[in-house]
Amino acid sequence: MTSPEARRRHDQLAESIRHHEHAYYVLGRPEVSDFEFDRLEQELRELEARHPELITPDSPTQRVGGGPVEGFQPVRHGIPMMSLDNTYSPEEVRAFLIRVQKRVPDAALEWTVEPKVDGLSISLRYEEGRLACGATRGDGTTGDDVTANLRTLRSLPLRLASRDVPRILEVRGEVYLPLSGFRRLNVEREAAGEEAFANPRNAAAGSLKQLDPRITASRPLAVVTYGVGAAKDGDLPATQTGLLDWLRDLGLPVPGIVEVARTPDDVLNAIASLDQRRARFDYETDGAVVKLNDLALRELLGATAKAPRWAMAYKYPAAQAETRLRAISIQVGRTGALTPVAELEPVLLAGSTVSRATLHNEDDLRRKDTRIGDHVVIEKAGEVIPAVVRVIPERRSGAEVPFEFPKACPECGTPAVRDATGNGSGTGVVWRCPNPDCPARIRGRIEHWCSRGAMDIEGIGEVMAAQLVGAGLVRDVADLYRLKREELLGLERMGEKSADNALRGIDGSKERDLWRLLFGLGILHLGQGGAKALARAFPDLESIEQAGLEQLTAVDDIGDTIAGSIVQWFSDPVHRDLIRRLQRAGLNLQSAIYRPVDAPTAGPFSGKTLVLTGTLPTLTREQATEAIEAMGGRVASSVSRKTDYVLAGDDPGSKLEKARKLGITVLTEDEFQRLRNDPSPPLAERQSSADH
């Protein structure tokens, strides 16, 4: 490679890596897999090895990781959080094992092989057995203080199970989103018109780096611990396996699977066996971590500037395949977002045939210089939707055609607008079709209204929604309620049975509770949880329509963004008219779950707000909620000045502390059960005198 060429490639690679570092470390939204990212870094390192004159102090190879994000306090780790050397090659693992053995020729080495959990590394500082601080890795030396957020993780003990631990103990581990929780979260986000997370790691990062711990609390994050950083005044076990047992005994979650191996063959077998089993874990693993079991030997080996010499990560390659990009189509969502989709020559990838993959957004298309007819590499890593990760310019024939991102909506021709608020995540630019009457958007709205989580109209799915809109029978959800049997029967391939089924479903939906209707309207940012909160706080739709920002934000679980979006929605005359038509069609606009503060159900908790925290000895959360509601109370998710009582069980977490700070009366389950059976003496007399 000649020098100007090398320089150009260097600049390209550096640019690309910086972009991905920003997306990954700062925004928590990677656009390529680790595998692809590592490939870029590797190419840059090799290029710089051949052309050292290209190395600049700001080259991505000259730094490790990113800095703390704004808004969190910086925390200096007692012992730096290093990264791991990693490889995709079993031979390099073998070479590593032999290298270590050479440094300690007389030792009979023992290795542990653990899953590499694909989450966010964290350091948990326990002082005298109590969680004092939790921090992200940051640049390895200084991270972000995310204690308030970490405290919301139910699996993380606030106090260790034994006091016989070092006075200061930094436990190292990973915060992740279990796959089940990840899927659920994405369903909710999509339903609320918010962009789905690309993978569980993104979702975990986005959830942990929330300035508002209540948002973190609503995400089902989990934690696993696998190591120790600084430890002062106290002893540690002598081996990794001993350490994991010890951490587990202290109440900390540890990896479920840890293999011990002696020979290099055993280590490689353990890695392969983990690969076999990892599909069944409830978390995503991107590799296996091989560690020297003996902690004293680790000391002896030490570390390089970046990583310890006693450990290595083997990364499982993401499934990739090469195919040809036939065309690029544009998908129009319910909110008008235009998403480019790759139409591919079908190719087998990780056990299924893939003919479509996401191209993310316009920026991404440009950066990769994607052209129609290009040979492309597509990838599917774990839970990631298949994506085009790069094009193969060497395979171009010259007949490839650059793609012009449409300036108008492909469905209705309305000029697209750049959404300044983007997709809510900061990466990429979102173009939206601003036309509320766009057929694609109407289809999306009808589908959403009929979906199981909203009005639950069984007879109408994606296909029928498209038919109804296509035939001009339905332009908004109110039109559904005027449909006639003959009209339906006039549709192509529509049998009597299907028509009757749809009509029955539509008719039945008139009785649905208000929260379903609210959610079904598709107000931006208003998810199911928010819709239920509104339906509990307001008796009917009219009072929500008339409520101002202040009244709306006074409702637990309704923040400024949702409240603003609701007010804006109702200020549109088209929407107000839609509501009137729904009303005339006979839809229920009253809330059955409304719990008025002024005229509460009679009972010991009449008009009171309770918050549950911790595990109760006998009642589940659902049973406790039911009991409270039956006694006239309501259950909120977070403690505030509006809270009257906190019902606390074991491992109560930060809610209990907050309650104490605010002087809110705390009940045990025992006390609660007594009140349930014998509502006297009145609760008011038991309430603490603290001002809240």
Give the C-alpha separation, 288 to 112, whole Å: 10
Give the C-alpha separation, 547 to 535, whole Å: 13
Nearer to ligand IVH, 222 or 518 (CB): 222
CB of 269 to ligand IVH, least distance (A): 18
Binding mask 578-617 for ligand IVH (x = CB under 6 A): ----------------------------------------
CB of 174 to ligand IVH, least distance (A): 5
Nearer to ligand IVH, 170 or 364 (CB): 170
> 132 by DSSP, 3-state: which?
strand
Q: Where does this chain touch ligand IVH (CB under 6 A) — which range of 88-96, 305-313, 523-531, 639-647?
A: 305-313
Contact criterion met (CB below 8 Å) for 253 and 271 = no
332 binds ligand IVH (CB under 6 A): no
Locate 25 and state its tokens.
Answer: 């470390």
Buried b (16+ CB within 10 A) or exposed e, 248-263: eebebbbbeebbebee
Residues that bind ligand IVH (rule: CB under 6 A) add up to a total of 16
Among 102, 116, 306, 407, the one annotated catalytic: 116
CB of 43 to ligand IVH, least distance (A): 19
Q: Where does this chain touch ligand IVH (CB under 6 A) — which range of 246-254, 306-314, 449-457, 517-525?
A: 306-314
555 binds ligand IVH (CB under 6 A): no
297 binds ligand IVH (CB under 6 A): no
117 binds ligand IVH (CB under 6 A): yes
Is residue 116 annotated as a catalytic residue, yes or no?
yes
- Please choose, from the candidates 596, 602, 611, the residue with its C-alpha nearest in 3D space to the C-alpha of residue 672: 611
Nearer to ligand IVH, 313 or 555 (CB): 313
Nearer to ligand IVH, 311 or 384 (CB): 311
Contact criterion met (CB below 8 Å) for 448 and 520 = yes
The Cα angle at residue 583 between residues 578 and 589, in degrees rounded to 5: 105
Give the C-alpha separation, 350 to 655, whole Å: 44
Locate 496 and state its tokens.
Answer: 């009597």
Residue in 226, 449, 515, 672 binding ligand IVH, rule: CB under 6 A: 226
Residue in 16, 33, 121, 358 binding ligand IVH, rule: CB under 6 A: 121
CB burial of residue 546 (10 Å; 0-12, 13-18, 19+) = exposed
CB burial of residue 85 (10 Å; 0-12, 13-18, 19+) = middle
Give the C-alpha separation, 628 to 603, whole Å: 9
**Residue 521 one-letter amino acid:** L
Kindly provide the residue ranges of all beta strands, DSSP E only, lying in 220-292, ordered along the sequence. 222-232, 259-261, 285-292
Q: Where does this chain touch ligand IVH (CB under 6 A) — which range of 197-205, 308-316, 375-383, 435-443?
A: 308-316
Binding mask 163-182 for ligand IVH (x = CB under 6 A): -----------x--------
114 binds ligand IVH (CB under 6 A): yes
Contact criterion met (CB below 8 Å) for 612 and 647 = yes
84 binds ligand IVH (CB under 6 A): yes
User: Please, which residues have CB within 8 angstroms of residue 145's CB and are 6 or more apart in sequence?
Assistant: 72, 73, 74, 75, 133, 134, 135
Binding mask 234-263 for ligand IVH (x = CB under 6 A): ---------------------x--------
519 binds ligand IVH (CB under 6 A): no
Locate 502 and state its tokens.
Answer: 């749809």
The full 3-state SS of 498-515, as one line of letters, equals HHHHHHHHHHHHHHCCHH
Q: Where does this chain touch ligand IVH (CB under 6 A) — which range of 24-32, 82-90, 649-657, 682-690?
A: 82-90
* Sign of the C-alpha dihedral computed for residues 607, 609, 615 and 620 taken in this order: positive
CB burial of residue 162 (10 Å; 0-12, 13-18, 19+) = exposed
Residue nearest to ligand IVH (CB): 121
Q: Where does this chain touch ligand IVH (CB under 6 A) — which range of 79-87, 203-211, 363-371, 624-632?
A: 79-87
CB burial of residue 678 (10 Å; 0-12, 13-18, 19+) = exposed
Nearer to ligand IVH, 252 or 566 (CB): 252
Nearer to ligand IVH, 86 or 358 (CB): 86
- Please choose, from the candidates 198, 487, 182, 495, the residue with its C-alpha nearest in 3D space to the C-alpha of residue 361: 198
CB of 275 to ligand IVH, least distance (A): 15
Residue in 10, 20, 77, 116 binding ligand IVH, rule: CB under 6 A: 116
Residue in 171, 313, 465, 612 binding ligand IVH, rule: CB under 6 A: 313
Q: Where does this chain touch ligand IVH (CB under 6 A) — which range of 112-120, 235-243, 533-541, 661-669?
A: 112-120
| Residue list 272-291, contact with ligand IVH (CB under 6 A) | 289
Nearer to ligand IVH, 255 or 653 (CB): 255
Residue in 78, 242, 308, 424 binding ligand IVH, rule: CB under 6 A: 308
34 binds ligand IVH (CB under 6 A): no
Q: C-alpha dihedral over 26, 29, 35, 40, to 10 degrees?
A: -50
Nearer to ligand IVH, 123 or 358 (CB): 123
315 binds ligand IVH (CB under 6 A): no
The full 3-state SS of 416-428, as one line of letters, equals CEEECCCCCCCCC
* Mutual angle of helices 439-450 and 462-470, in 10-degree steps: 140
CB of 152 to ligand IVH, least distance (A): 20
- Which of the residues are catalytic? 116
Interacting residue ranges for ligand IVH, rule: CB under 6 A: 82-84, 86, 114, 116-117, 121, 174, 226-227, 255, 289, 308, 311, 313
